[in-house]
């Protein structure tokens, strides 16, 4: 599962029953055999929202992954010893590289206080820090977050959030916020979704148009944001 493309290389996770269900990151490169790229004692798996998922990302050969044993984020390249980017008692998932600011944008759960419902947020993890960092909070206050993604020009951040008792297929909200010169978001604007409308898979096109899927008609359809209007791409049941 979780296929990722980095240049000419394709990465994915393999669940190995023979290794206790360990998730192994592998890579396929043109003209070479498929190789394992995560260390032997590393289980690429996140426990954010308990369901996990989206436990790694790759950017120009650099791998950023969550290790199931301690839920820290680690950075490594093929053949390197992973270096911890974050401290203990925080869980991370769905990280994206914000290359111009040398940081990761991630969903984080804070388990430092032992809360039954650990607070969730969207945070920025610096890649050049000399010591592990829990991250700078960019968005908080909702029960759940997912899919943080920075626009290609680095000026906007989009994400999904929702609250109990909804599951994500019941109702989620898509927000967009402008990023200032320090990479911090201004006032977020809800551009789609709500308690009765579920939105998922937001993605920016190369020219900066925000696309997403919504069930606002009762069927999952693809939309794009034109100004403040959600325009259907192809309506069909």
Residues 95/105, Cβ–Cβ less than 8 Å? yes
Residues 232/225, Cβ–Cβ less than 8 Å? no
- Between 73 and 78, the more confident residue is 73
Model confidence at 75, in pLDDT bands (50, 70, 90)?
very high
Per-residue pLDDT reduced to its tens digit, 82-140: 999 999 999 999 999 999 999 999 999 999 998 888 999 999 999 988 999 999 999 99
Model confidence at 50, in pLDDT bands (50, 70, 90)?
confident
Give the max Cα distance, the chain: 52
Cα distance between residue 108 and residue 117, in whole Å: 13
How many other C-beta atoms lie within 10 A of the C-beta of residue 194?
15
Question: Which pLDDT belongs to residue 116?
Answer: 85
Question: Which pLDDT belongs to residue 114?
Answer: 87
Model confidence at 218, in pLDDT bands (50, 70, 90)?
very high
Question: Which pLDDT belongs to residue 51?
Answer: 77
Tally of helices (H runs) and strands (E runs) in the chain: 0, 20
Q: What is the mean pLDDT of the chain?
A: 96
Question: Which pLDDT belongs to residue 52?
Answer: 77
Q: What percent of the chain has pLDDT over 70?
A: 100
Residues 213/201, Cβ–Cβ less than 8 Å? yes
Per-residue pLDDT reduced to its tens digit, 29-41: 999 999 999 999 9
Residues β-bridged to residue 14: 24
Tell me how far the alpha carbon of residue 193 is from its chain's centroid: 19
Per-residue pLDDT reduced to its tens digit, 153-179: 999 999 999 999 999 999 999 999 999
Model confidence at 53, in pLDDT bands (50, 70, 90)?
confident
Cα distance between residue 210 and residue 225, in whole Å: 5
From residue 137, alpha-carbon distances to 3, 14, 134, 163 in Å are 28, 32, 9, 18
Give the dihedral of Cα atoms 204, 205, 210, 215; nearest 10 deg: -100
User: Which of 148, 91, 147, 86 has its CA nearest to residue 118?
Assistant: 91
């Amino acid at each position: 599962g979780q296929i990722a493309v980095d240049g000419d290389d394709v990465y994915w996770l393999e669940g190995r029953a023979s290794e206790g269900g360990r998730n192994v990151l592998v890579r396929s490169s043109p003209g070479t055999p498929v190789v394992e790229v995560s260390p032997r004692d590393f289980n690429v798996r996140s426990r954010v929202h308990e369901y996990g998922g989206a436990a790694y990302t790759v950017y120009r050969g650099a791998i950023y992954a969550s290790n199931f044993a301690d839920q820290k984020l680690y950075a490594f390249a093929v053949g390197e010893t992973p270096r911890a980017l974050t401290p203990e008692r925080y869980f991370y998932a769905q990280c994206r590289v914000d290359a111009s600011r040398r940081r990761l944008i991630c969903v984080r759960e804070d388990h430092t206080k032992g809360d039954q419902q650990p607070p969730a947020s969207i945070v920025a993890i610096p890649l050049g820090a000399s010591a592990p960092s829990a991250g700078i909070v960019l968005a908080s206050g909702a029960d759940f977050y997912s899919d943080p993604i920075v626009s290609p020009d680095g000026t906007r951040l989009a994400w999904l959030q929702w609250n109990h008792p909804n599951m994500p297929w019941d109702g989620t909200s898509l927000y967009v916020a402008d990023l200032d010169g320090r990479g911090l978001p201004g006032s977020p604007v809800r551009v789609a979704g709500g308690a009765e409308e579920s939105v998922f898979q937001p993605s920016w096109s190369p020219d900066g148009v925000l696309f997403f899927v919504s069930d606002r008609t009762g069927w999952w359809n693809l939309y794009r944001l034109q100004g403040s209007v959600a325009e259907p791409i192809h309506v069909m049941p």
